[in-house]
A = this chain, B = another copy of it.
Amino acid sequence: MIDVKARKVVALAGGVGGAKLALGLQLALSPGNLTVIVNTGDDFEHFGLAISPDVDTVCYTLAGKVDIEKGWGLQGESWNVLTALKALSAPTWFQLGDRDLATHMERTRLLQAGWSLSQITEHFCRLWGVSSHVLPMSDQPFRTLIRTQAGELLAFQEYFVREHCEPSVAEIIFQHAEGISPAPQVLSSIEAADLVVICPSNPWVSIDPILALTGIVPALKMKPVIAVSPIIQGKTVKGPAAKMAQELGLEASAAAVLGHYTDFVNGFIYDQLDGDIFTSDNYPGIIKKTTNTIMKNDEDKLGLAIETLKLGERLLENTQNND
């Protein structure tokens, strides 16, 4: 039997939830065998600085530097700049820690010096000793906007952080998304992968931006792909996916998540608390599996990663049997 550690895995991820499973996969696989393709639709400029929230969350998590409590930002962070911004009556809705700020500043400097976001991310990961490959989904600007039911158009972070996801969502808009290419190595890493894992990130605002890029869905169709549901018993551990689904007239359920991915998914993992939601008639070609998907600690992350890789082995066996 093949050692699952030796598998080459590509994970598609957004922020906190995606980063947690990515860390589990990193712990489960041989060093260097994980590539994480990260949503950049949440990227924005704040105080003139280029901020990539999901890329940073994934990198900090894989580097073992993330604030475990919050799931984002840096451990042992200080907030001197934010306190000073407050004193200047500046907007402080986006939590900028002092050390995190250095990341944004150096990213901005390097972008202005002509580096791509991919090159900068690779540079940071090398400095931080991250063994996995982290690829921003694209080096071209891609902006996820939220049109609220009140008619307002918000940048994603404005909706997510400043407005605490309170406005009802009427539409998710990918601005200038047409014809945007994935970053270098994104398609080739999918081609070289044994297995692709869609992390338990928000399907509509964290994963869909990646899927919207030229060539991604066709590349996924060539590979065994497992999606892990971020929705558990109609709710999410973190983030607005369930609330958003309801507002968009979708069902807030693991079944709706699977329904969203049926075009290219071969395996689906959802929480054991949702054990009885599928009948044998539902998506019969897709292997479904329940397990604990709530990742409270590294053991949970590793556990979910191993269950995912095991399902991957079943998919790979099926592929071989079909050959």
Contact = CB atoms under 8 A, between A and B. Distances in A.
A163 interface: no
A183 interface: no
Interface in A39-76: 46-50
User: Which label, helix, strand, loop or mixed, suits the secondary structure of the A interface?
Assistant: helix
A82 B1 CA distance: 51
Number of copies: 2
A68 B26 CA distance: 51
Given A109-B47, A112-B48, A99 B124 contact: no
A26 B283 CA distance: 78
A125 to B, nearest CB: 12
Contacts of A90: 102, 105-106, 109
Contacts of A161: none
Nearest to A88: B106
Contact of A88 (B47, B78, B81, B102): B102
A85 interface: yes
A99 B80 contact: yes
A64 to B, nearest CB: 15
A84 B99 contact: yes
A181 interface: no
Contacts of A98: 78, 80-81, 84, 98
A88 B90 CA distance: 26
A259 B90 CA distance: 46
A229 interface: no
A127 interface: yes
Contact of A48 (B49, B84, B85, B88): B49
A103 B106 CA distance: 18
A321 interface: no
Given A81-B105, A85-B106, 14 more contacts: A46-B109, A47-B49, A48-B108, A48-B109, A80-B80, A80-B81, A81-B81, A81-B98, A82-B102, A88-B106, A90-B105, A90-B106, A90-B109, A98-B98
